[in-house]
Homo-oligomer: A and B are copies of this chain.
Amino acid sequence: MSLETIARQFVDLCNQRKNFDVMRTMYHPDIVSVEGDGRETTGQAAVIAKSERWAAANTIHGETVRGPYFNGPSEFAVHITFDVTRKDTGERKSLQEVAVYTVQGDKITRERFFYEGSW
């Protein structure tokens, strides 16, 4: 598959709120996920567990993914807006982030999230 095909499938699935399908089917077993503070999580199962913790802590009312946008032969980026309520505080907020993905051998091998604060 081309980078473009993979990236469009990624965006389509996320806009259908199928983020966990993306992680289960499109992530490499050894994926590295880098949060805004630079902290890395390695391995598909650990990365999915991290996202499950985030999804459990927040009520997600909506998600809009813009893109994909391309740079070079193996990277694409998206812009994501989440409409979420933190379950512990009840605060509802629009969260925006940029995510950059590296694709190798038809699988996503690295994701880097750019955002503000530590929501």
Interface residues of A (CB under 8 A from B): 34-38, 66-73, 75-79, 96-98, 100, 112-116
Question: Chain B residues near A38 (CB, 8 Å)?
Answer: 71-73
Write out the residue numbers on chain B whose beta carbons fall within 8 Å of the beta carbon of A68. Answer: 116
Q: A77-B114, A79-B79, A114-B77 are in contact. Are A34 and B71 (CB under 8 A)?
A: yes
30 residue pairs from A and B, CB less than 8 Å apart: A34-B71, A35-B71, A36-B69, A36-B70, A36-B72, A38-B71, A38-B73, A66-B96, A67-B96, A67-B98, A69-B96, A69-B97, A69-B98, A69-B114, A69-B115, A69-B116, A70-B114, A70-B115, A70-B116, A71-B112, A71-B113, A75-B114, A76-B114, A77-B77, A78-B98, A79-B79, A79-B98, A98-B100, A100-B100, A100-B114
Q: Flag if A114 contacts B36 (CB, 8 Å).
A: no
| 7 more A-B residue pairs beyond the given contacts A38-B71, A66-B96, with a C-beta to C-beta distance below 8 A | A36-B70, A36-B72, A69-B98, A70-B114, A77-B98, A77-B114, A79-B98
A65 CB to nearest B CB, Å: 12
